[in-house]
Structure 1
């Protein structure tokens, strides 16, 4: 297996961050975990183009990129399987400001349907909710 290049968008509302809620196996066990909206960078596509495409494909919304934040390298294990992601992180906003009033968003990706919810930053910092990719908590502490 090879490293996967991907991109994630951080979108904030007050002290809340929009995160996709997933359930299943992850590197810390089994159960719920959270991840910003984003996905794999396609060959020939720039990461800023990817994040715009992913928000539209997964949530059906348009975003504006506010700024590039950082790159995280995440090497993780789920049981015996190793994963390796190189992730570009962007700060983004909804184009339509009314979307900030939504309590949640349906996330559609291929055959999978989940939801994205507003999660209090404090819950993540206290470890009450598991956030991926690894290193994102440190970035939230440093940057926000």
Structure 2
């Protein structure tokens, strides 16, 4: 991560006890982890605008009722390299409520990589598939 601190805006989309996440594996150690959708805040962009843009780019959908849950600072290792992120965590609803009926939502990263976002129960996260960044599970469950 070349010594840079990244600022991210993530979106917690919740349906009862489940949240929408993307599951990924660390190419260095093969460990799985899940993260809500979202991404980097660009220069001159608010974190709220960034989370709306990221969800629009990744899923092609609009958000409603966006509110800030909190901010987390994350020191981690990915692909064998250290990383440092300041993460603004938002809670939102889909503007199109019919999206909650889908078990999976196809997405696409800015580099064209396709992925599948899935609903996972909050009690399903453990050492076999962590919810990142660290502290996110506690933040989500304490601000129902």
Same fold (TM over 0.5): yes
| Normalised TM-score (structure 2) | 0.90
CA RMSD between the two structures: 1.7
5+ long unaligned stretches in structure 2 = none
User: 2:123 maps to what in 1?
Assistant: 122
User: 1:134 maps to what in 2?
Assistant: 134
- Equivalences for 1:1-144 in 2 at 5 Å? 1-25=3-27, 29-78=29-78, 80-109=80-109, 110-124=111-125, 126-127=126-127, 129-144=129-144
**How many Å apart are 1:140 and its aligned residue?**
2.4
2-side partners of 1:142 and 1:127: how far apart? Answer: 21
Q: Secondary structure, in 3 states, of the residue corresponding to 1:17? A: strand
**How many Å apart are 1:79 and its aligned residue?**
6.2
5+ long unaligned stretches in structure 1 = none
| Normalised TM-score (structure 1) | 0.90
Q: Which aligned segments of 4 or more residues in structure 1 are displaced greater than 4 angstroms?
A: none
- Does the 8 Å CA contact 1:20/1:35 hold for their aligned counterparts? yes
- Does the 8 Å CA contact 1:70/1:90 hold for their aligned counterparts? yes
